[in-house]
Structure 1
Amino acid sequence: MHITVVPASPKTGQAAIRTLLADPSGPTVRGVYRDLAKVPAEFKSNPRFEAVQGSVEELSTLDLSGSDAVLNITPPLYDKRDVVAHARLVSENVKTAIKKAGSVKRLVYLSSGGAQYDHGTGEILSNHEAEVVLKDAAPEVVFVRCGYFMENWATSLETIQQAGFFYTTLTPLDHALPMIAVQDIGATCASELLATGNPLPRTPYIFELHGPRAYTSVDVQKAFEEVSGKKIEMRPVEKAGLGDFYAAVFPPTVAKLFAEMNASFLEGGIMYEDPQPTGEIRRGKTELVEVVRQMFGA
């Protein structure tokens, strides 16, 4: 079996590749990279792995020939470009490349919780647009709608290590949110890719991927304190202050999208209300404290 991951450089793509190369069924894996300098040494040394140069932004560079299955990830944007238009462009390119290859039986798309909505979710609108385009890209299509990445909390390490505090935009502090570890995302996507050819209940087949349980800001604080062995202060960013908070980090257009995305899963947001739930929920095994331990190198 031959599987292509495009693009292969995101941490989720790396996690999927790592799982695939460790699988006893021995699939061959192709990773598509804009920059071949980003190919991890552990992959380069594996005879079942091939790294090729290409970009989802340039159709002429995408060669999916010989692939039985494809894992696609929409790369994030941090500039002034329209995220929805960009998601449409790169998804159309992947879809065209799949059709041109003629061998792809299954597409697995790494999506996000809330991708079913066409408004009110900020940056997640890119996943919605990708799902619209990719829903019939292959005979078998799987959308994995992930919860909040546990690894996103790694951005807190600098203030924790320098000043003993971290900001949280998850309020109220006892509000629980589905979170998932990157390694569990990779393992789940790999499992779906390896199941190519097995009948799906429907196509596109959609499920949400959460961690063992939902977590609150207090849970995050406890994990930081347990791993660091120190008292860690938590500084909440209230919903009304999200715009200013993200504007201090991102360009205005990006900040607005992230603020809207963040607000979407707080009280009053569309994902908090969730009038159109996906239905099936699968759960990873990795607890938040394990991910925090990896962040600290403990």
Structure 2
Amino acid sequence: MTVSLPYVVFGVTGRTGAAAADALLRAGQPVRVVVRDPAKGQPWAERGAQVAVADLTDLAAMTSALSQARGAYVVSPQHYQREDLFALAGVIADITARAALAAQIPRLVALSSIGADRASGTGWIGMNRMFEQRLGDTGIPTVFLRAAYFMENWTPLVGAAVDNGTLPTFLSPPQHPLPMVATADVGRIAAALLQEESTNTSIVTLSGPEDYAPGDVAAIIAATLGKRVDVAVVPEAAWPQALAAAGFSAAALAGFIEMTRSLNSAHIDIKSDPRAVERAGTTPLKHVIAELARH
């Protein structure tokens, strides 16, 4: 009996990786999940997945995790509590690229972000740009999956709105729609792209079924809870204080501020790279926000 080679999935302790691995398993595909903590792999092993243990900065372990596989969904987790988060992202990008070459993996789907085509002025997204560039240099056929603003980014702000009837937002103006996407759709599309087995390198931008504004988020919370919810734009001077509880390092805070400024000014724009192919997820914002508001 011929045993099919697995698809390797990173980030299964996060939302997009878990969704990608789930979609592949549901499709009957063999899967190898990569975790740092073996205990985190146990639920996946119970579903029939192989489990590889690797730190993203360990070249030998990464090479082993990527070996004898049909393709891989790779991510670069961002460590917002560290001052050296950009340097660490560079190391992870380099190790991932070197391991993929050493493992001779035939293709990759790499999680990135809208704005990764911009050379500067994008804050945190500069880490995604490094990831893209280093993987691109390998020559391995790769789909760079540039996701829009995650709907789940609203989680702590929805909590505040549930508690006090006011939704704080760093995005402005509050009625200006932006592309947003559910992380479940990111993982599902990543799994679909892996199974396409194209031999080309490409860029895919991914948004939700429509664009949404902060005012839409507030309206969904209000409808879910049956009470009025106002929107309060946090002025930029107050951003550091508003984010004090988030545990960001000074470097991460500066990256957040630059990124958010660029979202508000449309320097970060889903349509800014003419090479990109647009795809849309199916999960509406209402599904994600109403679920958050109920919990």
Instruction: Quote the Cα distance in structure 2 between the aligned partners of 1:70 and 1:79.
Output: 27
CA contact (8 A) 2:167 2:229 kept: yes
Distance 1:72 1:81 in 2: 23
Alpha-carbon spacing, 1:154–1:228, altered in 2? closer, same or farther (3 Å): same
Deviation at 1:10, TM superposition (A): 1.6
CA contact (8 A) 1:7 1:56 kept: no
Q: Which runs of 4+ in 1 moved over 4 A?
A: 272-278
Structure 2 counterpart of 1:39: 41
Residue number in structure 1 paired with 2:97: 95
Contact 1:71 1:107 in 2 (8 A): yes
Helix, strand or coil at the partner of 1:266: helix
What is the aligned partner in structure 2 of residue 59 from structure 1? 59
Deviation at 1:80, TM superposition (A): 3.0
CA distance in 1, matches of 2:271, 2:137: 25
Q: What pairs up with 1:133-172 in 2 under 5 angstroms?
A: 133-137=134-138, 139-172=140-173
Task: Out of 58-67 and 273-282, give the one that drifted further.
Answer: 273-282
Task: Tell me: CA distance 1:157–1:273, structure 2 relative to 1, closer, same or farther (3 Å).
Answer: closer
Instruction: Measure, in 1, the Cα distance between the counterparts of 2:108 and 2:184.
Output: 20
Alignment deviations for residues 86-136 of structure 1 (CA, whole Å, 9 cap, x no partner): 22211111111112212x111110000001112101011000011110014
Query: Do the aligned partners of 1:84 and 1:129 also contact (CA within 8 Å) in 2?
Result: no
Q: TM-score scaled by structure 2?
A: 0.90
- Deviation (angstroms), 1:79: 2.4
- Which of 10, 16, 40 is residue 12 of structure 1 equivalent to? 16
1:124 maps to a residue whose letter is I
- Per-residue deviation, 1:169: 0.9
- RMSD in angstroms over aligned alpha carbons? 2.1
Identify the residue that residue 173 of structure 1 maps to in structure 2.
174
* 1:228 paired to 2:189: no
Give aligned-pair identity as a percent: 31
* CA deviation after TM superposition for structure 1 residue 233, in Å: 2.5
The AA in structure 2 aligned to 1:90 is I
Cα deviation, residue 297, structure 1: 5.0
Q: Contact between 1:95 and 1:134, CA under 8 Å: does it hold in 2?
A: yes
Give the counterpart letter for 2:169 in structure 1.
T
Q: Aligned in 2, Cα 1:182/1:33: closer, same or farther, shift over 3 Å?
A: same
Question: Where in structure 2 are there 5+ consecutive unaligned residues?
Answer: none
Q: Which runs of 5+ in 1 are unaligned?
A: none
Going from structure 1 to structure 2, the CA distance change for 1:259 and 1:274 (only over 3 Å counts) comes to farther
Q: For the Cα contact (< 8 Å) 1:98–1:138, is it kept in 2?
A: no
Matched position secondary structure for 1:27: coil
Specify which of 269, 279, 282 is matched with residue 279 of structure 2: 282
Q: Deviations over 1:3-54 (max 9, x none)?
A: 111233221100100100001xx2211111111233363x23212x012211
Contact 1:211 1:285 in 2 (8 A): yes
